[in-house]
Structure 1
Amino acid sequence: MVWRSHLWVTQLVADALIALAFSSIALALVIIVRRRANMQFGLAFWCFAAFILACGITHAIAVVTLWYPAYGFEALVKVATALASVVAAYVMWRMLPRMIALPAAGKLQEANDRLQEMVVERDAALAELRAEIGNRERAEAALLQLQKLEAVGQLTGGIAHDFNNLLQAVAGNLELIARKPDDIDRIVRWAGSALDAVDRGRSLTSQLLAFSRKQRLEIAPVELRGLIIGVRELVERAVSPISQLEIAAIDPALFVETDPMQLELALLNLAFNARDAMPQGGVMRISARALPQFQPPGLSKGDWVAITVADTGIGMDAETREHAIEPFFSTKEIGEGTGMGLAMVYGVVTQSGGGLDIDSAPGAGTRITLYLRAAKPSLVRASTRQREDEPVFDLSGRTIVLVDDDKEVRTALAETLTAAGARVEQAPDGSSGATLVAERQPDLLIVDFAMPRMNGAEVAERVREMGADMPILVITGFSDSQRLDAIDGKGFSILRKPFETRELLQRITALLDS
C-alpha cells in the first residue's frame, strides 16, 4: 500500500505531539514526586511516569521510522513499554483499595473542622485544669496554715505558763534593782537574770512566729540534729506534763533534703498524736539514722535518712493504720482534732521526695518512720550568741533618725544608740519620721514596720522618693513573712524583735560601713 502524502504528514504530526506530551507528563510526574517526598503512593507515580515516558519514546521512534526503517529498535522499545505498562498496571491495582479509601476533599475539610474543635476543647480543658491546680495549691497552702495555727493553739496553755514565769523573772529582778540601786554587784547579777529570761522568751516567740507566719516553702539541705534540738522545747510542751520526751543521739553529719519549717511542724504534729495516744502517760522517743544504698517501701534505691518517732501508747489496729494518712480521718471525738496531723506529715515527706511508714499494733505503741533523702553537709552559720570579747561599737558623729510608735521601745533604743555615741532624732509615727529625715539628712534611718496609718515600708519608700539614699533598717516583731519578704532586699535591711543590743549595733555598723 502506498502512503498518501496527507496521511504521512498526519502520522508525523500526531506521533511528534504525542511523544512530546508524554515526555512532558512523565517529567511533571517526576518533579511532583521529587518535591513531595512525603507524598502517598509515590511508587505508583514513578511506575506511571516510566510507562508514560516509554509510550512517548515509542511514538518518537514511529516518527523516525517514516524515513529510516529501524523496526528492530522500535520492537525493543515496544517491549520495554509493554513491561513498563504491566508493572504500572500491577502497582495501580495493588494500590487501588488504598486510593479508594482516601477521603474526599469535603470529608477532609470536615475532619479538619472537627480537629479544630477538639483543639479548642483541649485548650479550654487545659485552662480549666490550670485553674483547678491553682485552686488546689491555694487550698493546700490554707490548710497548712490552719494546721500551723492549730498546733500553736494546742500549745497555748504551756506557752502562757512559760511566759508568766518569764515575766515573773523579769519583774522580780527589776524590783530588786529598783530597791538596791547602789548595790552594783547585785544589780549586775539581777540584770543578767532578767536578760536570761528575756532570752528564753525570744527563743520561744521566734519558734511561734516561725510556725504561724506564711513563708515561701523551699526544699534545701537541713542539718537534722540542729533542727530537732531547735524544736525540742515545743515538742516537750506538746507531750507534757504526763508524758516524757527522749531524743536519741543524732549524728551531726546527717543532712536531709526538706523544708525545715515543714519538718518541724511535722514533728510537732507527731508529738500531738503521741500525746493523745498516751492518755495515762508514757514516753515519746525521736531517733534518726543514715541508710546508705537503701530502698524504702515504694521509693527508689539510694542514700536515705530515717527519722523515727515512737510512742508507748495504745497503738492502732489494721483499719486505722490503713486510713491514718487520709485527710480528715480521725479516731478522736468531734472537736478534739481535725484529722489532718498525719496527712500533713505525709504531705511534707512526699513533697520532699520521701515516704512514710507506720508500724503499730493495739497495745504495742506506734512507730512512725519518715524517709528523707540524704543531703550533702553544708556550712552551718556560727552561733551569734557568743558574748566573749564583744567588740566596742562607736557611733560618734553619726546622726540617726529613729521612728517607732511604741514610746517605751523608742526610748530604750534611743538610749542604747546615744550610749554608743550617736545623735538620735526621734519620731512617734511615719509621717513625722519622713519629715524629720528631710530636715536632718541623717546617716541612718531606723523605722518600725508595724505602725498605724503608715508602716515602715511606706516610710522608707517616701524617704527614697524624696531623694535620700541613706541606709534604712526596718525593725519588727511582725509575723507576716510575705509582706516583709516583699521589701527585703530592696535597699532595706530587716532586724526582727526582740534583738540584743549587740545585734542592733552590729547591724548598724555594717550598714554605715557598707
Structure 2
Amino acid sequence: MHSLFATFWSGNYSPHGYCLMWQPQLLWTHIVADALIALSYFSIPMALVALVRSRRDLAFGWIFWCFAIFILACGATHVMGIVTLFTPLYGLEAVIKLITAVASVATAVLLWRMLSTLVRLPSHEKLQETNGELAAMVEQRDAALAELKNEVAQRESVEAALLQAQKLEAVGQLTGGIAHDFNNLLQAIAGNLELLARKPDDADRVIRWTSSALDAVERGRQLTGQLLAFSSKQRLDVKSVRLAELVGGMSGLIERAVAPLSRVRIERLDPVWNVQTDALQLELAILNLAFNARDAMPEGGVLTISAERRSGKVAPDLPAGDYVAVTVTDTGTGMPPEVVARAVDPFFSTKGVGKGTGMGLSMAFGVMRQSGGTLLIDSELGQGTKVTLLLPLATLEPRRDTQDDSARDERISLAGATIALVDDDPHVRASLAEMLRAAGAVVEEAGDGAAGVQLVQSRRFGALVVDFAMPELSGSDVADQVAGTDPQLPVILITGFADSNKLDAIASPNVTVLRKPFESHELLRKIRDVARR
C-alpha cells in the first residue's frame, strides 16, 4: 500500500501537455476554457456570500456551505487542469477531485432530502391566490374593526344619553323645592322694587333695598348655575377638587332633595382633603344618593354626610394608596342582601314603574371607577343604608378662582366709546343701554340679528355687545357675519344659554362670553378692556 501511494506521489509522470503533442492550438484551448470555467466557479461563492451579507433575514443552512465548497472545489479542479498541462502534479489534482467528490455527494444528499420540502413550495399562482385570500381577510378585519368602532360610539352615545336622562331626572325631582326658592327670590326682588318706587328719594333706604334685591339676584344666579351644570352636557373632567367646598356648596340642593320630611346633617369635612374626580359628576352622584335616601325614609329620617381619610388596601378592587371615603348614611328601610348585590346594576330598581330609572347608583359607581375609586354599600333590612364613595386623595392643589372684591365698587368710565347693542328682548336691551350710557358710552341699538349686522356695517364701533340666543340670526351668527367686514371688532357675547358645547365652539380671539345674570361692573369692565377707541 505504501509503495502504491509512493508511486502515486513520485512525480515520475509526463505533464498532460505531452499527451497533446504540445500543439499550441490544443494547449491554449484547454487553458482558456479551464480558466473561464474556474473564474465562473469562483465568482458563484462570492455572489452567494454577498447575498448572505445583504439578506440577514434569510436563513442559510448546511446546504449553502456544502454548495459553496462544491463550487470552489470544481473551480480548483479546472485550475489544476491548467497546471497539469505543464507540471505533472496529479497527486494534488487527485486530492482536489476527492474533496470535490465529497462536497458533491454531501450536497446531493442534502438536496434530495430537501426535495420534498421544495416540491411543497407554493407556485406563483398559489401565492397569488393566497395573497388574495389574505387581502380578503384584511378587508374583513377592517370591516369588523369599523363595525366595532361604530358599536363603541353607539354605546358611548347611549351611555351619555342615559347619564343626561339621569341628570334631568335629578333636576325634575328638585322641581318643587326650586319653584319654592324662586318664588321667594322673586318676592324679595319685587318687594324691594316696590319700596324703591314708593320712596325713591330716601337715599339710605334705596341703597339698602337695592342691595337686598341684588342679593336675591345673586342667590338666583347661583341656583340656576347649579341647575344648568346638572342639566348641561358635560364630559368627565377628572381633576383635583376641594371636597369640603363641593359638599358645602351643594348643601342647599341636598336639603331640597330630602325635604320636607327628612333632615340633613353634614359633618365637618377637613378643608385640606382634595380628591381626584369630576366635580359635577360627584355632585350628581351625591344628589342621587340623597334621592335614594329620601325614598328609603318615607316617614322621615336623617341623612348624614361625612368623610374620613383611609390609607392602604381600602377595597378589594383598589390598589393600596391614600383615599378619602365620603359616606352617605340614611335611617331608612335598608336593603336585603340580594338587593345590595344588584344595586349598582344599570336599570335595576325596586321603586316601581315610573319612580326611577335605576341608573342612580350605577352612574355613581361608574363615576367612582373612572376617577380611580369605587363605591361600597353597607345595608341591612330595617337598619338603614350606608353608601361609601372612595376617591383617590389628590396630590395637586386645585386651582382657585380669585376675584378682587374692590372691583365691585370700582367706577368705570366708557367716555368716548361707541357701542353697538343687539338684543331681541326690549327690557334687557333698554336696561343695558341705560347702563352703558350712564358710564359715558354712545350706544346704538338693534332688536334682532339682521338689524344688528346692518348697524355694525353702517359705521365703525368700538365694540359689539350681542345676545347669543336670538331667533333667525343668533349672536354667534352675527359675530361671524360682522367678522367678514370688520375682523378686528371686539364682540362681547352675553348669554343665559345652557349648552356650553355650543359656546365652546365659538373659536375667535375677538369674542368674549359673559353669562347672564351679570352685574353692571362685569360688563363695563369687559368693554373697557377690549373696546377700541
Task: Say whether the 8 Å CA contact 1:258–1:352 is kept in structure 2.
Answer: yes
Partner residue of 1:54? 73
For 1:36, the equivalent position in structure 2 comes to: 55
* CA distance in structure 2 between the partners assigned to 1:108 and 1:61 by the alignment: 46
Matched, 1:68 2:67: no
Alignment match, 2:290: 271
Residue number in structure 1 paired with 2:330 = 311
- Structure 1 counterpart of 2:511: 492
User: 1:397, CA displacement in angstroms?
Assistant: 2.4
Counterpart in the other structure of 1:198: 217
**Aligned AA (1:368):** V
The verdict on how the C-alpha distance between 1:283 and 1:104 changes in structure 2, with shifts beyond 3 A counting, is same
- Map of 1:380 onto structure 2: 400
Change (3 A) 1:481 1:396: same
Change (3 A) 1:160 1:114: same
User: d(CA) in 2 for partners of 1:293 and 1:510?
Assistant: 51
Q: What residue is the counterpart of 2:134 in the other structure? A: 115
State the distance in 1 between where 2:389 and 2:132 align: 53
**Counterpart contact for 1:166–1:197, Cα < 8 Å:** yes
Mind listing any 5+ residue stretches in structure 2 that lack a counterpart?
Answer: 1-13
Across the two proteins, how many residue pairs are aligned to each other? 513
Unaligned runs of 5+ in 1: none
Moved more, 442-451 or 83-92: 83-92
CA separation of 1:390/1:66 partners in 2, compared to 1, >3 Å: closer, same or farther? same
Aligned position for 1:436: 455
1:417-436 matched pairs, under 5 angstroms: 417-436=436-455
Q: Which amino acid aligns with 1:164?
A: N
TM-superposition CA deviations, 1:151-197 (whole Å, max 9, x none): 11111111111111111222222223333334333333222222222
Q: 1:333-412 maps to which residues of 2 (within 5 A)? A: 333-375=352-394, 376-383=396-403, 386=405, 390-412=409-431
1:434-460, Cα deviation, whole Å (9 max, x unpaired): 333334523222111112222211222
Amino acid at match of 1:377: E
User: Normalized against structure 1, the TM-score is what?
Assistant: 0.90
**Stretch of structure 1 that moved more, 43-52 or 146-155:** 43-52
Distance 1:488 1:29, change over 3 A: closer
CA distance in 2, matches of 1:112, 1:344: 48
Q: Which residue of 2 aligns with 1:415?
A: 434
Amino acid aligned to 1:465: G
1:448 to 453, 459, 467: 467
Counterpart CA distance in 2 for 1:126 and 1:404 is 49
Aligned CA distance change for structure 1 residues 446 and 91 (closer, same or farther; 3 Å): same
Q: Is the 8 A contact 2:407 2:521 kept in 1?
A: no
Distance 1:477 1:31 in 2: 77
Distance (Å, rounded) in 2 between the aligned partners of 1:370 and 1:489: 41
Instruction: String of CA shifts for 1:322-351, please: whole Å, max 9, x gaps.
Output: 222221111110000111111111222222
Alignment root-mean-square deviation, CA: 3.0
Cα separation, 2, equivalents of 1:363 and 1:478: 45
Q: 1:186 aligned to 205, 211, 214, which one?
A: 205
Per-residue deviation, 1:90: 5.9
Tell me if 1:244 matches 2:239. Answer: no
Instruction: Map 1:313-332; keep pairs closer than 5 Å.
Output: 313-332=332-351
Superposition deviation, residue 118 in structure 1: 0.9
Q: Using a 3 Å threshold, how does the CA distance of structure 1 residues 40 and 491 change in structure 2: closer, same or farther?
A: same
Instruction: Map Cα deviations across residues 277-322 of structure 1 (whole Å, 9 max, x no partner).
Output: 2222222222333445555432333343332222222222222222
Does 1:503 find its partner at 2:522? yes
Tell me the amino acid that sits aligned with residue 65 of structure 1. T
Report if aligned partners of 1:41, 1:95 keep a CA contact under 8 Å in 2.
no
The structural deviation recorded for 1:416 is: 1.9
CA distance in 1, matches of 2:264, 2:106: 91
Aligned-pair CA distance for 1:504: 2.1
Change (3 A) 1:38 1:188: closer
The residue aligned with 2:10 is none
Q: Is the 8 A contact 1:26 1:49 kept in 2?
A: yes
**Equivalent pair of 1:29/1:46 in contact (CA under 8 Å):** no
| Distance change >3 Å, CA 64–CA 408, structure 1 → 2 | same
- CA displacement, residues 78-135 of structure 1 (integer Å, 9 cap, x when unaligned): 3433443455456546656654554444433332222111111111111111222222
Partner of 1:65: helix, strand, or coil?
Answer: helix
State the distance in 2 between where 1:510 and 1:291 align. Answer: 48
> What is the aligned-residue identity percentage?
55
Is the contact made by 1:283 and 1:312 (CA closer than 8 Å) also made in structure 2? yes
Letter paired with 1:196: D
| Mapped partners of 1:354, 1:450: distance in 2 | 40
Q: Secondary structure at the match of 2:250?
A: helix
Q: Secondary structure at the match of 1:308?
A: strand
CA distance in 1, matches of 2:204, 2:130: 96
Greater shift, 123-132 or 181-190, is seen at 181-190
Query: Counterparts of 2:44 and 2:456 in 1: how far apart (Å)?
Result: 91
**SS of the residue aligned with 2:473?**
coil
Q: Are the aligned partners of 2:488 and 2:510 in contact in 1 as well (CA < 8 Å)?
A: no
Letter in 2 for 1:203: Q
Partner of 2:3: none
**Aligned pair in 2 of structure 1 residues 96, 282: CA closer, same or farther (>3 Å)?**
farther
Offset, 1:136: 1.8
Q: What letter corresponds to residue 382 of structure 1 in structure 2?
A: T
Q: Contact 1:33–1:46 at 8 Å: present in 2 too?
A: no
Structure 2 CA distance for aligned equivalents of residues 43 and 31 of structure 1: 17
Instruction: Indicate how the Cα distance of structure 1 residues 257 and 247 shifts in structure 2: closer, same or farther if over 3 A, else same.
Output: same
Cα distance in 2 between the residues matched to 1:28 and 1:137: 60
Q: Summarize the Cα distance change of 1:389–1:31 in structure 2 as closer, same or farther, 3 Å threshold.
A: closer
Q: Which residue of 2 aligns with 1:472?
A: 491
Range 73-82 or range 315-324, more displaced: 73-82
